[in-house]
Amino acid sequence: MTGHLMGAAGAVEGVFTVLSVYNQCAPATLNFRDEDPEINLNVVSGGARSMEIRYAMSDNIGLGGHNGAVIFKRYDGD
């Protein structure tokens, strides 16, 4: 939804992931239109969906083979 931000792409995706966990809302998959009825996949389409999110992963595949993944956990206050 933001285009490719080169070196900032991973940071921006990380912020979006943290906001999804904080707001308990999964963003819609961009440009998803035709669901295959033979594939049992729960895709968020048409708009964001409120849901419980305890963990979320931000997976980044960058230009030149720079890859990284970060898993965020919701803070429960305990």
Q: Using an 8 Å Cβ cutoff, are 34 and 24 in contact?
A: no
Domains recognised in the chain with CATH numbers: 6-73 (3.40.47.10)
Residues 23-34 have pLDDT tens digits of 999 999 888 888
Alpha helices in 1-78 (DSSP H): 9-23
Cα–Cα distance measured from residue 28 to residue 30, given in angstroms and rounded to the nearest whole number: 6
Angle at 43 between CA 12 and CA 68, to 5 degrees: 35
Q: Per-residue pLDDT averaged across 32-60, rounded?
A: 91
Cα–Cα nearest to 52, from 21, 17, 14, 73:
21
pTM: 0.78
Cα–Cα distance measured from residue 59 to residue 33, given in angstroms and rounded to the nearest whole number: 23
